Chain A
Amino acid sequence: MGGTDEDLFADIYPGLVRFAAAVRPVGIEPEDLVQEALARTLQVHRLHDLDEPATYLRTAMIRIASNLQRGRRRAVARIGRLEHRNETLDSYPSELADLLRLEPRARAVLFLTVIEGEQYRTAAAIVGCSESAARTIASRALHHLRAHVSAELDAREAT
């Protein structure tokens, strides 16, 4: 395949930052999440060796974000380059705070299906679950956000 990793990465970088902004734990900058996923990938692969580098990096970001969210203190200590800012959910309006309380996989499924218009099947492949599990994740996320997305929830429940 022609081109360099630099050219390839320049193409996919803005989309990766947006995705990182969707799945990041509070206190982690989107670019830090992109960098960690990229570093772990470059540890074993060149970007050009990957069939779908953007998908690969997205999956890696979800894994890192999920691990951070699960074992936050230990993971942040371990991944030293991930800067832990004094950002809390109180910094956000209530609707965004509720969104950020969702687990990274749930935010990823919502972002991929609603913003990027992907099928649940595609979103499931990226977040690493079955299609039906992705639908369940999205449904639960919408119930969590019901105060802010009532129309969407009503439409789903009517079908």
Chain B
Amino acid sequence: MNELRDLLTRLVDVEPRVTASDMLEAAEQRARQLRVRRTRRRFVAAGTVAAVIAAIVIVVASAADRGHEARIAVEPAPSPTTGTPAVAPTQQYSVDATVLQDPTHGPELCFAVATSLPPQCKGTPIAGWDWRKVDREESVNGTTWGEFHIVGTYDGTAITITQPATAAHTPPPVKLPSYKTPCPTPSGGWTVVDRSKYSIDAYNAFANAARSQPDAAGLWLDSATPVDGKTDLFPAQVINVAFTGDLDARRAELRALWGGPFCVVHHDRSMHELELIVQTLNGEVGRDLGLQNRSASIDEVNDDIRFDAMVATPAAQTALDRRYGAGVVHLHGLLTPVP
């Protein structure tokens, strides 16, 4: 650990040469420039749209004059080929993600991208996409990509654009999870009781023992709670371990291995149980509920599971609550319904 820490410390050993107030002032000036550029682009786009509408009106009017039925063709979205997706085809959704087109496929919406040059991904096809109508795309060796804010409908197979795509919104502030130690603070605070068992090796032995128990339900470190009166880097952290069985027995076993502070708590579900639930979610349960792009991850701190699907519906969440119990699986939609 020390080698890597030393290396990283050397890398970030810099002192700001510009004061915070000068930096803020320069950034505000640059932000104003960016706003002006964005406004100009909107004027140009609006002018283009007006010209296109005028052209369509002329074409439709001339066709009607000729006595023909005039229609503007809209490319139909492909039909779903498998499963019964839990989506309403007329519902509009928004999403901020990567759009990538390469020589093997058209524009596709990707939530996971291999960061090679050019990047690679395989995602959901997008109907109605036009690279000429967007900014900030990049192209290398026949692959074009960029991050965009998209609004459109989703039929279970493809997204059909219903509004011009714009630059991807900066992600919302991340709500960081809490790793707070759930046990009450001992009188005198959390302390190291045996320095001979307070090393990386001792921690590894502790963690291996905790994780290998059949009722193991989670392990996390709390770096915010002071140890011996101060907060410091690992290993000066309170280790939290969760089990579903006899907590006193586990506490005694682990104390024999680790001289630092730790907290043992009860969880209702073991890691093994949660892993089995994840398997079913990624398999038949996800399929039966029509949930696509499924991925599930276990939250060891909160004893639950986050389940990402292309579209999350209240009905699907209710079905998951009925099957696994309320609050066990939290369904999260990658596409956000537009009210």
Q: Which residues of B221-240 have CB atoms within 8 Å of chain A's CB atoms?
A: 221, 223, 232-234, 237
21 interchain pairs, CB-CB under 8 A = A5-B24, A13-B16, A22-B12, A34-B23, A43-B31, A44-B170, A51-B175, A56-B170, A56-B171, A66-B115, A110-B8, A114-B4, A114-B8, A115-B12, A117-B233, A119-B220, A149-B4, A150-B3, A152-B3, A152-B4, A158-B204
User: B71 interface residue, CB < 8 Å from A?
Assistant: no
Do A148 and B115 have beta carbons less than 8 Å apart? no
**Segment 63-81 of A: residues with Cβ below 8 Å from B:** 63, 66-67, 70-71, 74-75, 78, 81
Which of A103, A131, A149 is the one whose CB lies under 8 Å from B3?
A149
The residue on A at minimum CB distance from B115 is A103
Chain A, residues 1-29, CB within 8 Å of chain B (1/0): the string is 00001100110011001110110000000
> What residues on A are CB-neighbors of B140 within 8 Å?
71
Shortest distance between the CB of B297 and any CB in chain A (Å): 6
Residue from the list B9, B173, B179 in contact with A115, Cβ < 8 A: B9
**A59→B28 CA distance, assembly (Å):** 19
Q: Is there a chain B Cβ closer than 8 Å to A52's Cβ?
A: yes
Known pairs A21-B12, A35-B23, A59-B174; A132 contacts B297 (CB<8 A): yes
Does A139 reach chain B (CB closer than 8 Å)? no
Q: Check A55 against B28 for contact (C-beta < 8 Å).
A: no
The answer to whether A22 touches B20, judged by C-beta atoms less than 8 angstroms apart, is no
Chain B, interface SS category: mixed
Given A9-B23, A117-B223, A151-B3: A22 in contact with B170 (beta carbons within 8 A): no
Interface range on chain B (Cβ under 8 Å from partner) = 35 or more
Residues of A close to B322: CB separation below 8 A: none
Size category, A interface: 35 or more
Q: Are A6 and B20 in contact (CB under 8 A)?
A: yes
Which residue of B is nearest A155, CB measured? B200
The answer to whether A110 touches B4, judged by C-beta atoms less than 8 angstroms apart, is yes
The CA-CA distance from A75 to B3 in the complex, in Å, is 34
Residue contact B173 to A51, C-beta cutoff 8 Å: yes
Q: Is B176 within 8 A of A52, CB to CB?
A: yes
A152 to chain B: closest CB distance in Å?
A: 5
- With A22-B12, A40-B170, A96-B11 in contact, is A13–B138 under 8 Å at CB? no
Cβ of B176 and Cβ of A36 under 8 Å apart? no
B79 on the interface (CB 8 Å rule)?
no
Contact with B along A117-159 (1 / 0, CB 8 A): 1110110011010111000000000100100111110010011
